[in-house]
Chain A
């Protein structure tokens, strides 16, 4: 069975600094995808970044990068140059195979301080 663990219930970061949100996963499936979503206080789920299990390079999307360490089964999200608008809940998720069932972590609440 798939399992996603986000060990940081809450994180604080100073505006303009970088922050790393941790995510570890467990699966026996050799093919899987890892996702990060942002959920602001308004409630919508916003896709941020994707990493495939066979991707050789770490995914990047603007200020977001995914630090993928396959052997350690970790997929940490790095947000560079934090902005006040980054304050939100962040979810790590894993999907088995293309389009398959996804499992979400419990989320990390990030607060960016001015």
Chain B
């Protein structure tokens, strides 16, 4: 398996623009997580899904952020409108209940810069 795949790897956008980050989890994994990493706040869990259903979105900073998982192999994190304080590295991760959830595999991350 190719692992968790995120796209794009880097994104530079202007304030006010819509940004969509994409994630393909490992095939067969039933949990998907979106994290944000900044120097100030460290690694924060934004939202996670189980079997494509959002379970906990309490980490989503505000209404400008939304996440979807239309099927087991694809998820998106959207920011609309984007602001400079959204600049961060966004990670997607997936794990499997069948293995006891003993590992969560991370994607390479998307480095977002909002200017």
Chain A: residues with CB nearer than 8 A to chain B? 33, 35, 37, 43-47, 50, 52, 91, 95, 98-107
Q: Is the CB of B48 within 8 A of A101?
A: yes
Contact residues in B for A47 (Cβ distance below 8 Å): 103-106
Q: Is the CB of B50 within 8 A of A99?
A: yes
Contact residues in A for B93 (Cβ distance below 8 Å): 45
User: Can you report 24 A-B residue pairs in the complex whose CB atoms are below 8 A from each other?
Assistant: A33-B101, A35-B103, A43-B109, A44-B106, A44-B108, A44-B109, A45-B91, A45-B106, A45-B109, A47-B105, A52-B102, A95-B101, A98-B97, A99-B30, A99-B31, A99-B96, A99-B97, A99-B101, A101-B48, A101-B56, A102-B33, A102-B104, A103-B45, A105-B42
Q: Which of A35, A52, A95 has most B Cβ within 10 Å?
A: A95
Chain B: residues with CB nearer than 8 A to chain A? 30-31, 33, 42-45, 48, 50, 56, 89, 91, 93, 95-97, 100-106, 108-109, 111
Contact residues in A for B111 (Cβ distance below 8 Å): 43
Q: Is the CB of A91 within 8 A of B43?
A: yes
Q: Whole-angstrom distance from the CB of B32 to the nearest CB of chain A?
A: 10
Q: How many A-B residue pairs have CB under 8 A?
A: 54
Rounded to whole angstroms, the CA-CA distance of A103 and B104 in the bound complex is 13
Rounded to whole angstroms, the CA-CA distance of A50 and B103 in the bound complex is 7
Q: Whole-angstrom distance from the CB of A43 to the nearest CB of chain B?
A: 6
Contact residues in A for B103 (Cβ distance below 8 Å): 35, 47, 50
Which of A50, A91, A100 touches B102 (beta carbons < 8 Å)? A50
Query: Which residue of chain A lies nearest to B93 when distances are taken between CB atoms in the complex?
Result: A45
Query: Which residue of chain A lies nearest to B50 when distances are taken between CB atoms in the complex?
Result: A99
